[in-house]
Amino acid sequence: MILRTSVRLHFVITLLILLAVANCHMTTRDSETRSKSSGDEISWDAYINQFLDAYFAAHPDFAARSGRHEFDGKLPDWSSAGIKKEIQRLRAEKARVSKFEDSGLEKRQEFERNYVMSVIDADLFWLESAEWPYRNPQFYSDAIDPDVYVSRPYAPLDQRLRSYTSYAKAIPAALAQIRKNLRTPLPKTYVQIGKTTFGGLVSFYEKDVPAVFASVKDEQLQKDFSEANAAAIKAMRELDAWFQSQQATATDNFAIGAGKFSEMLRETEGVEVRLDELEGVGRRDLERNQAALREACASYAPGQTLAECVAKEEAHKPTGGSVEMARKQLTDLKAFLAEKNIVTIPGTEEALVAEAPAYRRWNFAYINIPGPYEKNLPSTYYIAPPDPTWSPQEKDAYLPGQANLLFTSVHEVWPGHFLQFLHANRAQSKFGQVFVGYAFAEGWAHYTEEMMWEAGLGNGDPETHIGQLLNAMLRNVRFLSAIGMHTGTMTVQESEQMFREQGFQDAGTARQQAARGTFDPAYLNYTMGKLMIKKLREDWTAERGGKQAWQKFHDEFLKYGGPPIPLVRRAMRGEERGSVF
């Protein structure tokens, strides 16, 4: 499973949903397409529905977050036997999907078949090859997150309270499975992220959740909630204490190794390239952005060093704070998109902006987008305040400059994640509406930052350009850190130094980002996805008028939902694959 960083991400983003109703876009030939499976004839579209019924049963937390609220309050079986059962199920599904290869599928069905296979391969990599349930506490973070019940107004408050109570009742057993699964000694950064994620939930359970449900007048509901929440708090405290106890024996042994890293790229994103070549791609892009920074600084802060120039930009803090400024930026960004005809805005939905809860503050910003089964619900763009344990100087430095924040807002909302999901939720393929991979989602969001600057955002203002470049160099260093740290050529300390010296990040961000790379080796997907999208845009628009075809390219690219980008490249460029970079 892809870790959603929110991303998820997220994201980290592994989503897989398809409505179990008939697809109104199916042609007659689609519905008649057949293939033998387990001795019975079954159409491709019927098989997809069967696949997802089983997927929802195995991942009820995912189903609930996606808007299938009959699964509310349930958590997966994370026992060793349960994980083995899921691996066996995925292997069986892979065998079934393979039987459709020679069955004369329609073009749309062939694409979906490859899409489904990519999902299975990615899940099997994280579960079986990487052994993520046994190695990485972050594997469990999305499923454990109760935000869907607390923050998403999908039902009356009393109904959501019932769902949360069921979730809270399931927490003690789930945490016992997690603790039993995790192999010790853990890496130091894994211990810390465990404490941040699980320890942060203790305060959330104690303070935030009761306040949300306080207005529910049903005494029995409140009694049931209080008992279940108290048990969840107790179990979470115990797990937090367990992570604390692991600090004494914690190691630096987090690297997955070069072989696994290459396997990760192939199985989760369909990218097959030698790691030295890939590292060269990332290093050249960092150098390109550093050269652009030197040029912008020569105009913005003549005679000053690059570090002094960046400090000047970062000292221009958002008026009214990051959350208030982000709200204003979203209005301006949406107007800019409409004025420049950059990409179609396919709806009237808007995104809210709020401060991130304590247990989700291991990255500066993320967006929470309701699943495709939900109707008329808001998305929320969350911004994290500094860690309260940091020094006053580090706290101040952590808050981005106004131009830097602008491109975070581009990334998260207009025209980044939020707009991408507006398109995905309207994709012809229901599969594509909701299954959005890491490199597609983060690659698109990061791609839009530079694209918006190229389209004229800021009117050539060098301070604005510096804000864009700081975001780009942050992702460049992630790219190189992921490869370096997980192939043994870079330490966490060297990564942190690189974030500061070559990415021009503040001390708190550099520390945070280097640590993230240890438990999120796929966070190179920001730059990797961006570069694949840029190359596809160049190739596709070269035959269609260049820059004047950008809107058509963006709309065409986004209609696929979120599969591996090489798969989209083949669909948009025919059988000619070409270089993804």
Radius of gyration of the chain, Cα coordinates, nearest whole angstrom: 23
What is the pTM for the complete model shown?
0.90
Q: Where are the alpha helices (DSSP H) in 425-487?
A: 430-434, 438-454, 462-487
pLDDT tier at 577 (50, 70, 90 boundaries)? low
Give yes or no for residue 581 having a pLDDT over 60: yes
Q: Which residues face 10 on adjacent strands?
A: 5
Q: Which residues face 367 on adjacent strands?
A: 381
Give yes or no for residue 93 having a pLDDT over 50: yes
Query: In terms of pLDDT, which residue wins out, 499 or 101?
Result: 499
Give yes or no for residue 364 having a pLDDT over 80: yes
Positive or negative CA dihedral for 278, 551, 455, 426? negative
Residue 367: strand, helix, or coil: strand
pLDDT of residue 491: 97
pLDDT of residue 14: 36
Query: In terms of pLDDT, which residue wins out, 372 or 296?
Result: 296
Residue 172: strand, helix, or coil: helix
Distance of CA 503 to the CA centre of its chain: 21
Q: Calculate mean pLDDT across residues 52-78.
A: 94
Cα separation, 60 vs 171, whole angstroms: 14
pLDDT of residue 435: 81
pLDDT of residue 35: 40
Kind of pairing between the strands at 379-383 and 365-368:
antiparallel
pLDDT of residue 49: 82
Give yes or no for residue 134 having a pLDDT over 80: yes
Cα–Cα–Cα angle for 417, 287, 565, nearest 5°? Answer: 35
pLDDT of residue 48: 83
φ and ψ of 269, to 5 deg: -130, 0
φ and ψ of 461, to 5 deg: -65, 125
pLDDT tier at 477 (50, 70, 90 boundaries)? very high
Where residue 567 falls (left for φ over 0; alpha for ψ -120 to 50; beta otherwise) is alpha
Q: Calculate mean pLDDT across residues 256-285.
A: 98
pLDDT of residue 578: 66
Query: In terms of pLDDT, which residue wins out, 102 or 427?
Result: 427
Give yes or no for residue 387 having a pLDDT over 90: no
pLDDT of residue 32: 39
Give yes or no for residue 72 having a pLDDT over 80: yes
Q: Calculate mean pLDDT across residues 180-197.
A: 97
Q: Which residues of 272-289 are buried (b: 16+ CB within 10 A; e: fewer)?
A: ebebeebbeebeebbeeb
pLDDT of residue 376: 87
Of the listed ranges 4-18, 207-221, 248-262, 473-487, the one predicted with least confidence:
4-18
**Strand (E) or helix (H) holding 43:** strand 40-43
Give yes or no for residue 115 having a pLDDT over 70: yes
Cα–Cα–Cα angle for 188, 194, 199, nearest 5°? Answer: 130
Q: Calculate mean pLDDT across residues 60-82.
A: 96
Q: Calculate mean pLDDT across residues 335-350.
A: 95
Residue 42: strand, helix, or coil: strand
Token pair in block for residue 180: 């039993």
Residue 251: strand, helix, or coil: strand
pLDDT of residue 579: 82
Token pair in block for residue 16: 């897989």
pLDDT of residue 27: 36
Q: Look at residues 251, 567, 285 and name the one whose alpha carbon lies nearest to residue 432.
A: 567
Burial of 157 (0-12, 13-18, 19+ CB in 10 A): middle
Percent of the chain with pLDDT over 90: 80
Give yes or no for residue 199 having a pLDDT over 90: yes
Give yes or no for residue 216 having a pLDDT over 80: yes
Kind of pairing between the strands at 34-37 and 40-43:
antiparallel
Query: In terms of pLDDT, which residue wins out, 305 or 506?
Result: 305
3-state secondary structure string across 368-384: ECCCCCCCCCCEEEEEC
Cα separation, 413 vs 90, whole angstroms: 34
Give yes or no for residue 451 having a pLDDT over 80: yes
Task: Provide the residue ranges of all domains of the chain, joining segments of one domain with +.
Answer: 28-249, 256-581
Cis bond upstream, residue 172 (ω within 30):
no
pLDDT tier at 83 (50, 70, 90 boundaries)? very high
Q: Calculate mean pLDDT across residues 6-19.
A: 34
Q: Which residues face 460 on adjacent strands?
A: none
